[in-house]
Amino acid sequence: MRSSKTIHVISAHAEGEVGDVIVGGVAPPPGDTIWEQSRWIARDNTLRNFVLNEPRGGVFRHVNLLVPPKNPDADAAFIIMEPEDTPPMSGSNSICVATVLLDGGILPMTEPETHLTLEAPGGLVAVRAECKDGKAQRIFVQNLPSFAADLDVPLEVDGLGTLTVDTAYGGDSFVIVDATAMGLKLDTSEAHEIARMGVRITNAANKALTFRHPENPDWTHFSFCLFAGPVTRDGSDLRAGAAVAVQPGKVDRSPTGTALCARMAVLHARGQMGMDDRLTTVSIIGSEFTGRILGETTVGERPAIHPELSGRGWITGIHQHMLDPGDPWPEGYRLPDTWGAR
């Protein structure tokens, strides 16, 4: 076999959402910080296209690049590449990265718990892994500070009328709609409808509303639409369905860790969730993330929370992505049958 490029990948998923991890074959991108390196990846697009586009990738795939940490307190660093964005943070991807680092033997595992610090583009996140028999059984991630932005905002969406939405940040930016008000049960039969409707709502929000992260001037858009199911309470245990539409048109198979943190921020802002509570969100395939509020803080002048999320990850394979120098599609291709209308 001939190849002008060979990229080494350990594939994984967290509660159903694919989050592959590049462990070799790619030099660290230029930049003095992990955020600057992620901006270079986003602008350059060569690596993103190679691993995310068909025939190697697909709209279902996220890929994380391991890079040396910039912060001396971090054990490892990673850059997240999603189908359309290169975001500050991702819950499912951080779980995949932690799982690959520990189950793959890249970092040492200590049973019954391993503690490590990951450096995401948006900042440091502390990880606690429950470990048994050489497997990271459950990953707990202390996510970036999360906050509710604008609550109960009217949003006109073509074909859907005027919706009432919340906006929030949980490591990534969300427009949040009431799933019941949209007539959704949040099950697998609605996946196509959720994906297409969610992209329309996200696009409408980006045209009509404003998102600003007080401490990250580069992040000025809404990435996702969260269809939030009703919250039930049993003592301090809260539970809700969740389905997140990801650009350009797919549903997150997991409950979305950043969405969980964004929703906890909204519930806390409304006085509906405190630090003694736990919120479990359930995806359309029945997988679960659980979150809690570790404390209160501020982001700029915005009230915010310190959130923790947890879930499970599994390694699914080891791959070497190669490029034949004669391949007429060196960066792959996208078609609107799965990638959405451009």
Of the candidates 292, 325, 294, 334, which has an alpha carbon nearest to the alpha carbon of residue 310? 292
Of the candidates 167, 160, 202, which has an alpha carbon nearest to the alpha carbon of residue 182? 160
Residue 277 Cα to chain centre, angstroms: 23
Active site residue 189: no
The token pair at 12 is 């994984």
Distances (CA, A) of 68 to 74, 129, 182, 198, 199: 9, 21, 44, 35, 34
In whole angstroms, give the CA distance from residue 318 to residue 87: 25
- R_g over Cα of the chain: 19
Of the candidates 249, 321, 253, which has an alpha carbon nearest to the alpha carbon of residue 54? 321
Angle subtended at Cα 125 by Cα 123 and Cα 126, rounded to the nearest 5 degrees: 150
Q: Count the Cβ atoms, other than its own, within 10 Å of residue 232.
A: 10
Residue 49 Cα to chain centre, angstroms: 19
HSE, side-chain direction, 13 A CA sphere, residue 121: 28
User: Do residues 134 and 125 touch, judged by C-beta distance below 8 A?
Assistant: no
In whole angstroms, give the CA distance from residue 201 to residue 244: 11
Give me the catalytic one of 90, 92, 173, 254.
90
Of the candidates 3, 1, 16, which has an alpha carbon nearest to the alpha carbon of residue 191? 16
Cis amide leading into 336 (omega within 30) = no
Q: Enumerate the active-site residues.
A: 90
